[in-house]
A = this chain, B = another copy of it.
Amino acid sequence: MGGDFGPQVTVPACLTFLKSSPHSKIILVGQQKLIERYLPANYSSRIEIVHASAVVSMNDKPSSYLKGQQDTSLENCISLLADKNADAAVSAGNTGAMMILGKKIAGCHPAIDRPALVAPIPRLDGKTAFVLDIGANVDCSADTLVQFAFLGATVSKALTNTEDPKVFLLNIGTESIKGSQQVRYADQMLQNKVDSLNYQGFLEANRLITGNADVVVCDGFSGNVLLKAIEGSMKLSLDNLYKAFEANLYNRLVGFLALPVLKRTVPDLDPRYKNGTLFVGLKQILIKAHGASDEFAFRKALETAKQSAESEVVKRVGQSLDAMMDQELV
């Protein structure tokens, strides 16, 4: 039901997803009549509808959706997840509500106070930098940032088998006098944890892609700005290129020859190809799709959910966190 477009985007995306994923099933949770409007008359037996009378809107404050049983699509969806009736849940809806209901219904790993949204960012050298938080926790204390550092390290280990992930704190300079008080406190705390974490210090936003960071820790405000700025720039680069290849006949001819080459760079450049971010720290797989997801982007988020379930990411992150707890590191 969520996101900027609701079922008119999410339902067709599910239908396309099922075609390419013959062993997957989808439970659509929301207003049955509205959902059925976007389904063919004889829809696949791999689709099930679970009705929910209410919807958490993008503007709803926690006080409105935390009053117990509200029969909202988000609440019912996460309940299906918590009751093991689903392996992963995806929503393009209210991020804050997803975090709070996720924590309340699915529950957090005991080592973690607040789940974080983590985004995998492709580095120039082909490896992956995991950025957290990217929008679920707007204000973060130094303690929370330190917890995210450990959480990020377990994600990097679990998802990319990185042995001793290099962990950085996002800052606006590399000198110790730079940045907000929380960031400077978190830096001091992390400097004292070198035995249990490969902490490397501050990282500036321009070094995220070109550097060697495996984990980048930040509050949800600056993390969100970071990700959306990258997304916007990629779009600008693409548009600039296409404009340049249209300027005159010679350029159009070259553009025609160059198109197959350029197309190969598109998956790296187009942010819609990388949709769906995981709430880490929860006991189940909950995926946040971009609020502005179109059908293509929402399908990518469904694929992220499927891959997350197949790779048992939550189980593996949980095992890493268990090990850290056993060693009394977190």
Contacts and interface: CB of A to CB of B under 8 A. Distances in A.
A262 interface: yes
B180 A139 contact: yes
Nearest to A264: B244
A291 B173 contact: yes
B220 A207 contact: no
Given A135-B172, A138-B179, A209 B232 contact: yes
Interface stretch (A145-153, A249-257, A318-326): A249-257
Given A205-B228, A210-B236, A237-B237, 13 more contacts: A59-B177, A60-B177, A124-B236, A139-B180, A139-B181, A172-B228, A206-B228, A206-B229, A208-B229, A241-B262, A241-B265, A250-B261, A254-B258
A231 interface: yes
Interface residues of A, number: 66
22 contacts: A59-B176, A61-B177, A138-B172, A139-B180, A172-B224, A172-B225, A172-B228, A204-B228, A205-B224, A205-B225, A205-B226, A209-B232, A210-B236, A222-B225, A225-B226, A227-B229, A234-B237, A237-B238, A243-B265, A245-B261, A257-B258, A258-B258
B222 A233 contact: no
A74 to B, nearest CB: 15
Contacts of A175: 58-59
B269 A261 contact: no
A37 interface: no
A239 interface: yes
A174 to B, nearest CB: 9
Contacts of A229: 205-206, 208, 225-227, 229-230, 233
Contact of A237 (B181, B225, B233): B233
